[in-house]
Amino acid sequence: MAGLTISCESSRPEDTRSLGRQLGIVAQPGDVFLLVGELGAGKTVFTQGLGEGMGIREPINSPTFVLLREYQGRLTLYHYDLYRLANVESTVTREWEEFLYGQGVSAVEWANRASELLPADCLLLEFLIESDTRRVLKLTASGERHVALLSSLHCS
């Protein structure tokens, strides 16, 4: 499968949000963003930007406790969080599949907890904490559409 990897730097939350916003503006139905990184690395901030780019006006909160939040913008955004799940398999394969492979845009926090179960055609974002404020975001696109999406991105 075609793949592409690039790295971006973020020196403050606004950089991470702006990256999300850029991708949100061009996101298409069925796009899947898998977010991997420690607590406080910027996964929710990225998703907030993604939602802004998709024209969602309401605040995008952390879905940790409710597991999934749904927002309506230009497209539907499904914001998942696997942080609290013990048995990820039973949840991901049944309740969420129709969304993940549907016409909305999905952002999955703590995606590394279910990597084999999530779509292979995706944009994987790894958030690395370099220092108090600096993050390195490693973006890996799999599949033609996600490669095209990542190619359109401009980052510092």
Which residues neighbour 15 within 8 Å (Cβ) at sequence distance 6 or greater? Answer: 9, 156
Token pair of 150, please? 């990542």
Ramachandran category for residue 145: left, alpha or beta (phi over 0 → left; psi -120 to 50 → alpha) = alpha
CB 19 within 8 A of CB 8: yes
Q: Could you tell me which stretch among 27-35, 67-75, 114-122, 139-147 binds another protein (CB under 8 A)?
A: 67-75
Rounded to whole angstroms, the Cα distance separating 151 from 5 reads 10
**Per-residue contact flags (x/-) with another protein for residues 69 to 108, judged by CB under 8 A:** xx-------------xxxx--xx--xx-------------
Q: Which of 25, 62, 138, 155 binds another protein (CB under 8 A)?
A: 62
Nearest distance in Å: CB 141, another protein: 27
> In this complex, which beta carbon is closest to another protein, that of residue 64 or of residue 152?
64
By CB under 8 A, residue 40 contacts another protein: yes
Q: Alpha carbon of 34 to those of 10, 17, 58, 105: distances in Å?
A: 18, 16, 22, 11
> In this complex, which beta carbon is closest to another protein, that of residue 38 or of residue 144?
38
Q: Could you tell me which stretch among 14-22, 36-44, 100-108, 145-153 binds another protein (CB under 8 A)?
A: 36-44
Helix axes 13-26 and 43-53, enclosed angle (nearest 10): 40
> In this complex, which beta carbon is closest to another protein, that of residue 78 or of residue 145?
78
Q: Which residues bind another protein (CB under 8 A)?
A: 39-40, 44-45, 48, 59, 61-62, 64-70, 84-87, 90-91, 94-95, 129, 132
